[in-house]
A and B are shown apart, each in its own frame.
Chain A
């Protein structure tokens, strides 16, 4: 509200100064009201206030981040914090070294979880997200690596045996491949399923039950047909006989 409105018609100078005075008075009153409102808001218990939206902050000063940056220069691309969670963005090459170091030197001995996320607008489109937990104080660190369909992510199975199933799930749901994984097969969908369901371009209603997922049964673009009058889907339409 500090800028004077610049209309095409210029008012006399005296009148402008007067308006300025009035505007300042208005602004001061407004600021006063806002301050009073903020004070009233702050006096309320937190659950009656507006949601305190968390924001990203830089976490380069964190002792863990400093130690990791020293041990593995180049692996750590960014360290940030959101809603209390420490998030480290890693390069693909540095992933296994950083996880090994977290496990062996920083007591993050529990691999909580591995999951994927798809950002089709972005290049490369996939995130693989790791959560590690320190048993002594339950602190969690989250690791992000970026990858695409063609780039293999180093598997963590040599470091944590528990990485086996979550990595298979990421492969199943997103089609991200893991290098050196002992058993890179689908886990929740069946072998032979065509597609990766959690990709954003996979339709929520699923693909039809025909050639898209049973390529060995149906010709391309074909699928089961409805048996006349029954609503059942059968492989081929049969005659009345």
Chain B
């Protein structure tokens, strides 16, 4: 064992200058902001005194576009919000439409949806882990994670032909049945994946540098997390065991056995552990769904043109990879939604970033942007 390096742990003496504070622009064109996030920082030496996020650089007016298109044609728009987790976006949207018009989805379609969204959760977490690790300076996990993500994207491609913008669900059911041999290929992945998670953990979990960079960084107490509307793995890492898959089950989640990953400390390290555990649990869910996959139809009886009831509204939320992803739909009796609002988890989670960042070093700020797991396509819509 090597001795712990003897460095001063009084960061105030190390990084703080006696001189005046400085304003610093961080982003929008900066690789570690995961897109086009801009932060206006006030720094005292290396220390962040104030952090003010400026968003909107990727705003495309998706909510306006929703009002223009019929319910069936809006599914592709949802792909382009959280573009590393298209399947869960599809699921939240079609679920909201089904709630609004009162459609019931056949069991086989519910299971296929559950499989797709859990695979999507794994792939989203893999992108997060890869980029988060590379932000902090660990290069290897990136290659490992993208190796497995590639296998998931291949499965998606075999199912619906697309790898990222899947467009793989429809109001009322599924557009396609699983192709021949897909279940077996998915089983191969499911059998192999837990070993691969062990590999990531071997690289990071007890890694001394990783722990020094993450333990105790960006602590989010549970009451603060709730106050900011933070959901998903970030909330669960703060000790609040809220998971809509358990609390308000949709699709086939009430028929499978899994555990909610919860940690107590609410720091960057715990958020890492929660997401790693979620990947394992998601893999378990996929395995169970493959075993129990029922036969039968994949599409409910639905009209050719879906019209929402006059003066109707519905809110439907799912547990997306990043937190509560919800759609609020207002119908006015026409085939288009009168209003479609997205409740993006990244948007609300990003709001807590100043709370996390203030007092930390700029180098930790990069780790904190990584740990909030934002996708700017969803923040800006």
How near does chain B come to A166, taking the closest CB pair, in angstroms? 8
Residues from chain B with a CB closer than 8 A to the CB of A190 are 56
Mark out the residues of chain A between 147 and 165 whose CB falls within 8 Å of any chain B CB in the assembled complex: 160-162, 164-165
Cβ 8 A contact of B63, one of A161, A166, A198: A198
Total residues of chain A contacting the partner, CB 8 A: 50
Cβ 8 A contact of B229, one of A138, A160, A186: A160
- Segment touching A, from B103-111, B133-141, B282-290: B103-111
How near does chain B come to A7, taking the closest CB pair, in angstroms? 36
Contact between chains at B330 and A204 (CB < 8 Å): no
Interface mask (A19-31 → B, CB under 8 Å = 1, otherwise 0)? 0000000000000
Contact between chains at A110 and B226 (CB < 8 Å): yes
Contact between chains at A82 and B314 (CB < 8 Å): yes
Residues from chain A with a CB closer than 8 A to the CB of B343 are 112-113, 115, 131
Interface centre among B68, B242, B341 (most CB of A within 10 A): B341
Given known pairs A197-B64, A198-B64, the reply for A83 and B106 (CB within 8 Å) is no
Mark out the residues of chain B between 96 and 124 whose CB falls within 8 Å of any chain A CB in the assembled complex: 99-106
Cβ of B247 under 8 Å from chain A: yes
Smallest Cβ-Cβ distance to B230: which chain A residue: A162
Compute how far the CA of A140 lies from the CA of B317 in the bound complex, rounded to whole angstroms: 10
Cβ of B59 under 8 Å from chain A: yes
Contact between chains at A53 and B102 (CB < 8 Å): yes
Mark out the residues of chain B between 250 and 302 whose CB falls within 8 Å of any chain A CB in the assembled complex: 297, 299-302
Cβ of B380 under 8 Å from chain A: yes
Contact between chains at A117 and B339 (CB < 8 Å): yes
Cβ 8 A contact of A54, one of B303, B309, B338, B381: B309
Interface mask (A108-127 → B, CB under 8 Å = 1, otherwise 0)? 01111101011000000000
Residues from chain B with a CB closer than 8 A to the CB of A115 are 328, 341, 343
Cβ of B146 under 8 Å from chain A: no
Compute how far the CA of A190 lies from the CA of B313 in the bound complex, rounded to whole angstroms: 30
Residues from chain B with a CB closer than 8 A to the CB of A220 are none
Contact between chains at A112 and B314 (CB < 8 Å): no
Compute how far the CA of A164 lies from the CA of B244 in the bound complex, rounded to whole angstroms: 24
Cβ of A216 under 8 Å from chain B: no
Contact between chains at B173 and A188 (CB < 8 Å): no
How near does chain A come to B174, taking the closest CB pair, in angstroms? 12
Residues from chain A with a CB closer than 8 A to the CB of B229 are 110-113, 160, 162
Compute how far the CA of A112 lies from the CA of B55 in the bound complex, rounded to whole angstroms: 20
- Segment touching B, from A40-48, A61-69, A91-99, A231-239: A40-48
Interface mask (A201-241 → B, CB under 8 Å = 1, otherwise 0)? 01010100000000000000000000000000000000000
Interface mask (B321-350 → A, CB under 8 Å = 1, otherwise 0)? 000101010100000001101010001100
Q: 5 closest A-B pairs (Cβ-Cβ)?
A: A162-B229, A138-B247, A46-B104, A47-B300, A115-B341
